[in-house]
Structure 1
């Protein structure tokens, strides 16, 4: 039983705050166009990488993927509001692993969340 002064302690199911992803390096130097192409390919095929399966769940899964895409493309405060409002459960604070309210898993690669350390200018 809690009281007015109670607070969540370590280990409680409090929502995780989204944090900036750790720096990453692509195996080879990569241009902005190549990075954008990788991101487009991921988002086009994302429903095959997680979420709920079945026709009756396709709308809910698309909603979660759309929310994750939006969250990946904005600053942290707005990303937090997006995941909170859509019921996304953040397992990894950098958004690489999330779940929906029914427990379906959604995994995001680093390249859709942040810039690589070896991004090069196109010549």
Structure 2
């Protein structure tokens, strides 16, 4: 038995459907440029904290894609989703991958530059 919205890959493990992260707010307002710098810095350094580079690459592609494509990317890479918003995932070997919300969506206090 799985939760609603889950499907089974091989009959044993349910695959969670990816959802958009809940709205969130950064500690201080950010411009789009500041957010982009934070995202780039995270993706550049993430592989140095463990896990496999190809999984980090797949997670980045999924984070930057629409939900249906993200689901396909995650399933194809064999990524196990703990949190449906992709904040915590595992690879098939059990390595943990934690993604901050700022790489998955924009904060509610994003400053629109004029």
TM-score over 0.5 (shorter chain): yes
**1:80 aligns to 2:71 (yes or no):** yes
Residue 107 (structure 1) shift: 0.4
Moved over 6 A (4+): none
**1:32 aligns to 2:23 (yes or no):** no
Task: Work out the CA distance in 1 between the residues paired with 2:30 and 2:2.
Answer: 43
Bigger radius of gyration: 1
- Which protein is richer in strand relative to its size? 2
Give unmatched runs, 5+ long, in structure 1: 1-7, 52-60
Q: What secondary structure sits across from 1:98 in the alignment?
A: strand
Task: Work out the CA distance in 2 between the residues paired with 1:19 and 1:50.
Answer: 25
Q: TM-score, normalised by structure 1?
A: 0.82
Task: Work out the CA distance in 2 between the residues paired with 1:62 and 1:48.
Answer: 9
Residue 9 (structure 1) shift: 4.0
Q: Which residue of 1 aligns with 2:98?
A: 107
Alignment size in residue pairs: 106
Higher relative contact order (CA 8 A, sep 6+): 1
Q: TM-score, normalised by structure 2?
A: 0.88
Residue 47 (structure 1) shift: 1.0
